[in-house]
Amino acid sequence: MKNFVKKILMKKAKNNFLKTKEINIQKQLKNDFNIIKEREVLFKTKDILIGKEQKKVVKDLVSHGFSANHLSDVYSKSKELISYLQELCENTKNKTYEELVKDHSYDESKEYWVNLYHPELGKNDPIKEFMTSPEVFNIASKYLGEIPQIAMLSLLYTPTTNEENKNSMMWHLDNHNDNIVRMFINPYDMNVENGATMIFPNKYQPKYDYYEKFPYFTDEEAIKFGFNFNDKVDLIGESGQIYFADSANCFHCGSRSKKDRFVAILTFVPYLHYNPYKDNFFEKEYEKYKDENNIIVNYFKR
């Protein structure tokens, strides 16, 4: 008798839980829908003015999925930003990779790099200043067709390696958004031996279910799939070079470092249209830049 009553109570509790969960999901969907509509209205009513160089970036992103520029062409405080990045890079001197891992958090699935950047509240931060500058986020806004949101800010250090077939060293797309604006900034002169990111134009965006079949693939497999390596672009260049790329639509890879590699990778995604896979890592990343994203949204409200 006791077991019978217990089963009934457990079934009732489970039904109540599922009902409450469904109500909460519906509330969240309605809330998200209303906020998205509000953002769309803000975006459409804002007269977004961008300069000649910014227009070129947007045009290139639409046509090819990437654009090459010098940072000073698109951002007025380029010297301050490069100096700050170099200062962070200099802190790696005389330290082993193991020591750097202890000092900095890193992605366990990418054990071949360390993120040297950690946002600090209430301090002068040229990276956040760069990302909240209309000179920059208006490029993302024009390309994405809505208010952009800061997703991830990284300054990556990758030591010398002979490995070429680990995760992001292999060809892939970033699948957490339909469109992404990533900016690759070279703090120092970058060449292929430094592990420069390599990309293919967006014309190679697959028409099949890529994520089910080939999440990562090698150069040899890419050739079999029909990739022409004459179309490959290496994101190399002198200190202060910046590349904009839609990493959700341009196959890319990097970190094949024959020498130590330093590169800043800064990311915008569409506001609230992010992370359909509910990845805890990305949710934590978005939370880090809540205040900065409010700055961007408030710009559109003015």
Q: Which helix (H) or strand (E) holds 267?
A: strand 261-270
- The band of 285, judged by pLDDT with boundaries at 50, 70 and 90, is confident
Write out pLDDT tens, residues 57-110. Answer: 999 999 999 999 999 999 999 999 999 999 988 887 766 667 666 666 655 555
> How many other CB atoms sit within 10 Å of the CB of residue 259?
13
Judge if 248 and 109 occupy the same domain.
Answer: yes
Residue 195: which region, alpha, beta or left (left: phi > 0; alpha: psi -120 to 50)?
A: left
pLDDT score, position 275? 46
**Other beta carbons within 10 Å of 223:** 11
pLDDT at 274: 45
DSSP state of 122: T
CATH number of domain containing 172: 2.60.120.620
pLDDT, average across residues 28-33: 62
Q: Identify whether residues 97 and 27 lie together within a single domain.
A: no
**In b/e form, how buried is each residue of 270-283, taking b as 16+ CB within 10 angstroms?**
bbbbbbeeeeeebe
* pLDDT score recorded for residue 120: 73
User: Are 25 and 61 within one domain?
Assistant: no
Read off the pLDDT of residues 213-264 as tens digits, 9 standing for 90 and up: 667 889 998 888 889 999 999 999 999 999 999 999 999 998 787 788 889 9
Task: Write down the mean pLDDT value for the chain.
Answer: 81
Residues 174/301, Cβ–Cβ less than 8 Å? no
Q: How far is CA 67 from CA 54, 90, 235, 246, 258, in A?
A: 10, 28, 10, 9, 25
Sort strands 114-115 and 148-158 into parallel, antiparallel or unpaired: antiparallel
Number of structural domains the chain divides into: 2
Whether residue 28 is found in the same domain as residue 115: no
Give the pLDDT confidence score for residue 113 in this predicted structure.
Answer: 74
Whether 39 has a pLDDT exceeding 60, the answer reads yes
pLDDT tens per residue across span 169-210: 889 998 778 899 999 999 999 988 887 899 999 998 875 566
In which band, very low, low, confident or very high, does the pLDDT at 276 lie, cut at 50, 70 and 90? very low
63 shares its domain with 14: no
Q: How many CA atoms lie within 13 A of 245 on its CB side?
A: 24
Domain residues for the domain of 104 are 48-301
User: Does the pLDDT at position 14 exceed 90?
Assistant: no
Q: Is 161 found in the same domain as 73?
A: yes
Least trusted range by pLDDT, from 16-25, 32-41, 95-104, 153-162:
16-25
Q: What is the pTM (predicted TM-score) of this model?
A: 0.81
Q: What is the pLDDT of residue 129?
A: 95
- Residue 142 confidence (pLDDT) above 60: yes
Mean predicted confidence (pLDDT) in 125-134: 95
Beta bridge partners of 70: 241
Predicted local distance difference test score (pLDDT) of residue 92:
77
- The fraction of the chain above a pLDDT of 90, given in percent, is 38
| pLDDT value, residue 68 | 96
Q: Do 39 and 75 lie in a common domain?
A: no
Report pLDDT for 101: 64
Structure-block tokens of residue 129: 């200043």
- Same-domain check for residues 140 and 202: yes
pLDDT for residue 86: 95
Phi/psi of residue 40, each to 5°?
Answer: -65, -40
Q: Quick one: pLDDT at residue 284?
A: 72
Is there a single domain that holds both residue 169 and residue 99? yes
* Domain shared by 261 and 170, yes or no: yes
61 & 195 share domain: yes
Helices 280-288 & 290-301 angle (0-180, nearest 10): 60
Longest CA pairwise span in the chain (Å): 79
Neighbours of 113 (CB within 10 A): 25
Shared domain check, 105 and 188: yes
Retrieve residue 128's tokens.
Answer: 């956040």
C-beta separation of 262 from 155 below 8 A: yes
